Amino acid sequence: MDNSNKKQIVISPVTRIEGHAKISLQMDDSGQVTDARFHVNEFRGFEKFCEGRLYTEMPVISARICGICPVSHAISSVKACEMIQGVEPTYAGNLLRRLMHVGQNISSHALAFFHLSSPDLLLGYDSDPAKRNILGIAEKYRDVAIRGIRLRKFGQEISERITGKKIHAMGIAPGGIAFPLTEENRLALLNWIPEAKETIHIGINIIKKFHDENEAMVKSFSPTPTLYLGTVGSGGQHELYDGKLRFVDADGVILQDHVEPKRYLEFIAERSVNWSYLKSPYYKPYGFEKGIYRVGPLARLNVASRMKTPEAQVEFEQFKKINNSKPVHGTFYFHYARLIEALSGIEEAEIILNDKLITDKHVQHFARWNNHVGIGCSEAPRGTLFHHYITENTGKIKKVNLLIATGQNNPAMNRSILDVAQQYIHGDKIEEGMLNRVESAIRCYDPCLSCSTHAMGDMPFMVELVNAEGKILKRIARDN
Amino acid sequence: MSKKKIATVWLGGCSGCHMSLLDIDERILEVAQLADIVKCPIVDGKEFPEVDIALVEGAITSDEHLKEILHIRKQSKILISLGDCAIMTNVTGMRNYFNLKDVLETSYVGSISNDDAGEMPNHWALLKLKDKVYPLQEIVEVDYSIPGCPPSADAIFYVLSELLNDRIPDLSEAKKMKHG
Ligand code: SF4
């Protein structure tokens, strides 16, 4: 495995992540990057400490896996609970949950684009790192910054207006939700839609302009093909909340269609690797080496036959032209895909808020423990998310399995980092702008573990040239 | 008067406390007028600089966190525990009831979706987990705590704006302390 004659570069976002992730690049003697590893340094042990808890506690506990996509965890979890109870949510309860889920997707995508990525796009990859953040954007493009902040706020506000809390909302419970929506809150959200739409179109224009002006870079940005997994509705349409799984291959051929999420173990396996706390899932029929697949906005657009809403459909058709209706592999297009999803989310929120039954008071069905096993799935902002619980007769949890979006992108992220590093780093001369490009390969995936860490700007870099034992040969800090 | 310096840090937590900080929305621009946010998981690869206020999310779960919090304490005039994980380990500390080896094996060996070829994470580049998770005040002196999971954005903004205006925040004001 590790050969101590080979040099490694470790990119350790020391100050940013405080140990949450590191990248190491292995070089051969001629200065070519030969391997890339994304070391995820976080572990909290949910699978173990949830054992022995009551299954109905899971939506609340598991939301604490992530402060950026707590609703997705609560939704996947509550669906698993509903399978255990054998109960369906009420119409209004289900719709309110769908609305919250859409809201979270909007706020998470707004954060990823406006707070985290727009500084690179608007100020430039090689601009002053101290300013390359949302506050730097506020100095130069005040309107864009404020709009971005307010779009994220709109998404968060949906949760607040339904449950009284923006993050880790209570009340998402088997059978529906604990709180109905008031007419006053419905109107407040509905009135926000036009502004939200305007903002997302501004974002879409920013990304398109960037695509036009940087065509070569955008096209060549880590375009290694992979398989894709996403959820689709009954007509193959893009879907985030409720649907069936679809896998497509690198040419867009559908490998599996309309798979019930509870069959996920037939198609997905994962492997623990000694160099990361994040496991490496793969498409089981193709095996560990060949089964690299991606999830998230790019994957969902690649698997979908169409969008559900008209304005998003217009963009989707343009997106499909990028690679002649075949899957779009270029990692840079994650940004565009994310914005199209956010637009679709805003349109869907409008439709839901106009549903006559959205303020219905009958929000929850009640049932009790009936089945041992529950498996729930939803599309988190970063991809397909599975919760799987096995319970005892009393409803006590015996086993928990969580398959998280960022985990599923892990093997592809490694591949993308390698692609970019090989393209931009030759020899042991390392320039700041190059590092930022390696980093931005990760940022394209918007991995959960680092969202909050670069929530206000940029990732710092400490690069270390080390040998395989970890002895530092040379250290280069990004110049501020 | 020179601008104050703020740092925010994410240790063993879910990032929800940082998201709640972001939920102060446009008011972030007001904060930026009064202070430079010198290290908000941002800025660059330099050492943690001297700051007036450090907001710390999350509990101490590993050797790296421990080193860090000691350093942060040295560098910060005011250290604030942001949220329940920092204050009393909360969900992050739920693993304290189990043996660390069991906790790791449940995820990396015994998981239903794992294949048979896996290895336990033990690479030199990875942090070493502590047997138990610790709240901040068990390791360092903490000046203020903002409770909640996460604390509300209003509570965070209130504390920040009081401190930035050289006032002592009155955390007993119940309405500012809405949390869940
Ligand atoms: S206190 Fe709650 S919101 Fe904050 S890090 Fe801990 S679990 Fe997340």
B72, B54 Cβ separation under 8 angstroms: yes
3-class DSSP state of B4:
strand
Please report which confidence band the pLDDT of residue A9 belongs to, taking 50, 70 and 90 as the band edges: low
Given a cut of 90, is residue A316 above it in pLDDT?
A: yes
The residue of chain B nearest to residue A25, with distances taken between CA atoms, is B125
Q: Which residues of B touch A135 (CB under 8 A)?
A: 28-29, 32, 37
Quote the radius of gyration of chain A (alpha carbons, Å): 22
Q: Which are the contacts of A356, defined by CB distance < 8 A and separation ≥ 6?
A: none
pLDDT of amino acid A49: 93
Which tokens belong to A198?
A: 């305007």
Given a cut of 50, is residue A329 above it in pLDDT?
A: yes
A139 vs B: CB within 8 A: no
Which tokens belong to A462?
A: 């400490």
Most confident segment among A310-324, A423-437, A444-458, B118-132: A310-324
Given a cut of 90, is residue A443 above it in pLDDT?
A: no
Q: What's the predicted TM-score (pTM) here? A: 0.91
User: Which residue, among A42, A43, A143, would best test binding to B if mutated, counting the most B CBs under 10 Å from its CB?
Assistant: A43
- How close B168 gets to chain A, by Cα (Å)? 26
Q: In A28-106, where do the E strands start and end? A: 33-40
DSSP A120: I
Model confidence pLDDT, tens digit, residues A102-119: 999 999 999 989 988 888
Model confidence pLDDT, tens digit, residues A273-314: 887 788 889 999 999 989 999 999 999 999 999 999 999 999
Q: H or E stretch including B104?
A: helix B100-108
Query: What is the mean pLDDT of the segment spanning B34-46?
Result: 70
3-state helix, strand, coil in chain B (%, to 5): 40, 25, 40
Q: What is the dihedral of CA A125, A292, A390, A366, to 10 degrees?
A: 60
Q: Which residues of A touch B65 (CB under 8 A)?
A: 18-19
- How close B105 gets to chain A, by Cα (Å)? 9
Given a cut of 80, is residue A226 above it in pLDDT?
A: yes
Lowest pLDDT segment from A270-279, A314-323, A429-438, A468-477: A468-477
Q: H or E stretch including A344?
A: helix A334-353
Given a cut of 90, is residue A196 above it in pLDDT?
A: yes
Domain boundaries, chain B: 4-95+132-164
Edge-to-edge strand order for the sheet containing A472-477? A33-40, A21-27, A7-12, A462-466, A472-477
Q: Characterize A283-311 residue by residue with b for buried, 16 or more Cβ atoms within 10 angstroms of its Cβ, and e for exposed.
A: bbebebeebbbbbbbbbbbbbbebbbbeb
Q: How far is the CA of A63 from the centre of ligand 1 (A)?
A: 10
For A306, phi and psi rounded to 5 degrees?
Answer: -165, 170
Look over chain A and give the mean of its residue pLDDT values, rounded to a whole number: 86
Most confident segment among A47-56, A423-432, A462-471, B110-119: A47-56
Class at the top of the CATH hierarchy for domain B4-95+132-164: alpha beta
Lowest pLDDT segment from A133-137, A311-315, A458-462: A458-462
Q: What is the ipTM of this complex?
A: 0.94
